Structure 1
């Protein structure tokens, strides 16, 4: 192709015109596509077809033309542009997005157990906590090959990422610090290495994932766990394989590829890979009688394995309905998490998480209570992990019993040589004499929530509520 020739690109059904010199200005997928003989898909008009959303492609072309571009104010849109820049392998545009997102994706440190409890109990989205060992001289040990910026750029749209240093044996030099055995659980043994924990938005019970030396790098271990849980997949330089598919969704035509439609199990995959009869319009497009409003978002989910959902609860419910029709379990799960978070934000102010930090606070609260007090005592391990009982949900407890009790949480340091389990106390208005109602973490015969419900039922009965 001669230099300066006009190039037509069909991006997800929308045609853009540019020049070869623009597309080859910066290293990346488009330059490779123009300057090498790699096979490319073409539509019926001869335009090069790329199975991506056209929403931000104008901005990408403007970046290629000028080397810079004005990004929108919306964090959601910047994350979408960053995702496209990652697909097209445009390092400069990815860096611009990263700089713009720095106020929300910067290096965030958890300094206290109270902060940890607040972050993981009411997360806006899933939380990734990297626990880093700190020596007596203040040195923090990072895993080999670990890059916080890469982690933030790659997964900042899916996780709130935090870092929590934890003290290790201060009496020994780094070289002499004993290592935990390979089979050791980070909650129970003396930790000497970095580890990470993922707290899902709808579930605060999580086990630490400890990086085992000699297998994969720490970054690989983190990415493997994320991929396992969320089925996230990196955009690659590889062009979509298979023929272009045109779909007429309720009168609006979308263009994509067979490989995109068959990426995840569901109705679209069955429709493409089997011989089931399909309706076609007068142009030969496969016709599906559904509202097209959210289908572009559905295609983005199929392309990347994740998608930024809107803030509107009404729109999320509409998307969930479409995901249910197309049998896309992953997208339905994303919608459920987002809706759960929206419900959590509606908790009244007097139901906020309240932490008791000192014994003095504890004494003041239970000595002169305005109403009955319910206190949850939660053990904290040396590694900073807060142990919750199985099946415990702070929001459910708060919504259900917040009108009866003032509810508080008191973390306490777990002792290495003694069993440490969550327990609760109920303090009556006119009496502070009450022994702890313990619920052993591993007790198969008496679950914490069952015991809690019984204790509250007794309290209600005794006080005539």
Structure 2
């Protein structure tokens, strides 16, 4: 059998077509094709394994890389071990050992706009992904909340808290029966930051 010979595989009921050369990195598949398979009696090799996961095994054998959701990594490692592909198994180990640092914060609309080029609509669906400028993050939900806000009686912008106002502000507030505090409904945004840089 030459390296360019076409090999037909039936893995758990899913059909794949590849070449002998592609399978060389797998100890199991090479042994199977070179030794146990009788091409005189069958035009395909049946392997009683997961047909879905084998597509990632074959992708790795063809390209040296793979992409798969994290929930399948453990199962894919089991398949890599079964097929005798230690390099793939080691790569999966490294991915599984990588700890993603996650930080949750409640941000105002103004703070959120610092991280994105878009103007944020206060009415947002949950798990809506927002395009970030620097750190990658995901918008989880919009949370309405009452916020206690101080208003300076002389409308001085730097007087954002009661104790920042001096005697003159206090006198004006008392004289005019001024309500220094109001409760305003604002929308805060629950944001999930990924600080590992891998997402």
Which protein shows a greater Rg?
Answer: 2
TM-score tier after normalising by the smaller chain length: 0.3 to 0.5
TM-score under structure 2 normalisation? 0.45
Which one has more relative contact order, counting CA pairs under 8 Å at least 6 apart?
2
TM-score under structure 1 normalisation? 0.20
